[in-house]
Amino acid sequence: MNGKRITFLVLICALLLICMAGCQANPSSEEQNAAAEQDALNSSSEAAGRSSADVSQTGADTSSSQAENASQETAVAQGDAAAQEDPAAQADPSSMESSDQALPSETTAKGELMIYAHLGEKTLTIKPENNSSAQAFIELLRSQDITVDMHEYGGFEVVGPLGTSLPTNNETITTEPGDVILYQGNQITIYYDTNTWSFTRLGKVQGLSADQLREVLGASHGTSSGDGTLTVVFSLKDSLKSSAAVGEFDFENHTVLLNSGYTMPIMGLGTYALDYDTCVNSVKELLKNGGRLIDTAHMYHNEEAVGEGVRQAMEEYGIPREDIFVITKIYPDQFDDPVAAIEMALEKLDIGYVDMMLLHHPGTNDVSAYKAMETYVAQGKIHSLGLSNWYIEELTDFLPQVTIKPALVQNEIHPYYQEQDVVPFIQDQGIVVQCWYPLGGRGYTGALLGDETITSIAKAHGVSSAQVILRWDLQRGIVVIPGSSNPEHIEENLDLFSFELTEEEMAAIAALDRNEKHDWY
């Protein structure tokens, strides 16, 4: 009996061993599919590597390739962060090429993010590619709309400078009508016909045939300007219509609408006390990092340097002149001959026109000097007018005597000198307020940045004391122009939109007011 049991158990074990061997030799369908997918991914990665190597051998130098790779790694890292913040992007593998290239979370009603190209009253809808170049472009558009002056080229495209550089993912392709292409990393093109070259695809225009697209592009630049320039505004918004009132800050586009009808950036660079070379480099650094507002003056003795920095940045970074806003000022000792003063400023800056000119201080003949500036507005050589160091009494006397209302008043304002009565008075006139010495001014900056109230707020938001002060100004509706020659500080002073001060924090800073003016005017 025991022998029969042992024989039975041996047979059972043998059968189990045979079954296990069969399973190992024939994997399940799920395992087969997983293995096939992994093989496909490996093959795709190898092919992409070969393609990248082929492109890099077409003549790009080693240092350029290394810089481009670093930019691409940065863009991919940003894509990772976007995917982590957006559970939907993580959950839907179809929305990405690979796990490190998820599209951002802003989507249409159908769940797809779109880029919009606004051409006057017409709008093109662009479906972005799944690559780091399109991702970097989208990141730019998240911070602000981008205006590109485009022109026809070759009979198959319109092309224009992007104003910055994006990482490239070049491959030799034959374009199709509607392709939106990045060329040489810093030019954007919209194709209405075919062309074969090494390009990076940014996206594809949706819903238009080749003939329709040709008609839209042709009609647009036929009416946009006499020289055939086509002005295109790229945006993540399907409409550029804004309900913003004069003087109201647009925190999405970082601008304010002036009573002159022009928009002005709400943060920029002050150039007081910067020598020629330092000023040129600081202006270029600001423009390279996305800043577009620069303040200078006759008494700063650096208008020529500002102009040089602007011209170099326009050429090197492809920034259109109309995207840059330059303010200068004429001094009271020039009021006797304002026409000569205005002509001198235009000549020194040498940037075509002045976006805004201010009277630097009240003084003898200030009204007649202002009226001279008004004539230059009529000529288009000055776009907007303003005043510096004008307060309630001075404004009350001055405003009835001039024809064009000032668009801006620029005064000393910082947490120790807040002008809590003057600021609302000016704003109630429909005039924008801008502050100089926002960080306290030379000799006072250290104490202000080290103030315990400000440092504790900075720590709570993970930002610097300077960023807290500048954000406090913006939330009061005050434009900021901190001066700096330090590239890191210039970049930091533009990064003011990743946090917001609470009402309690705004009140705490308001309580620091000492009516402590740090300069005589």
Tokens, residue 432: 């924008």
Q: Is 217 exposed, middle or buried (0-12, 13-18, 19+ CB in 10 A)?
A: buried
Nearest to 69 by CA among 53, 87, 45: 53
- State how far the Cα of 367 lies from the Cα of 359, in Å rounded to an integer: 9
Residues 223 and 191: beta-carbon distance below 8 Å:
no
Q: Is 18 exposed, middle or buried (0-12, 13-18, 19+ CB in 10 A)?
A: exposed
H or E stretch covering 146 = strand 146-153
Instruction: Output the CA–CA distances (angstroms, integers) from residue 121 to 89, 108, 151, 261, in the order listed.
Output: 33, 21, 18, 19
CB proximity list for 342: less than 8 A, separation 6 or greater: 330, 357, 372, 373, 376, 381, 382
Identity of the residue numbered 509: I
- State how far the Cα of 287 lies from the Cα of 303, in Å rounded to an integer: 16
Give all strands of the β-sheet with 255-257 in edge-to-edge order. Answer: 249-250, 255-257, 263-265
Choice among 116, 191, 192, 300 that is catalytic: 300
Neighbours of 507 (CB within 10 A): 10
Judged by DSSP in three states, 163 sits in coil
Neighbours of 395 (CB within 10 A): 19
Neighbours of 282 (CB within 10 A): 26
Residues 332 and 179: beta-carbon distance below 8 Å:
no
Helices (H) and strands (E) in the chain, counts: 17, 20
Asked about 300 being catalytic, the answer comes back as yes
Active site residues: 300
